[in-house]
């Protein structure tokens, strides 16, 4: 099955994007390709 891609962008605070990426990766594992 093809992975869905997710891109997190936050122009106000780059740390939020990194935290969102880490959280989604932790919660769903390899079901999504997170950027």
Task: Report residue 24 as tokens.
Answer: 């989604």
pLDDT at 13 exceeding the cut of 90? no
Domain ranges of the chain: 4-34
Q: What percent of the chain has pLDDT over 90?
A: 60
User: pTM here?
Assistant: 0.73
Buried b (16+ CB within 10 A) or exposed e, 4-23: eeeeeeeeeeeeebeeebee
Report the pLDDT averaged over residues 5-31: 91
Count the Cβ atoms, other than its own, within 10 Å of residue 25.
15
């Amino acid at each position: 099955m093809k992975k869905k891609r997710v891109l997190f962008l936050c122009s106000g605070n780059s740390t939020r994007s990194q935290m969102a990426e880490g959280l989604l990766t932790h919660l769903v594992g390899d079901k999504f390709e997170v950027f």
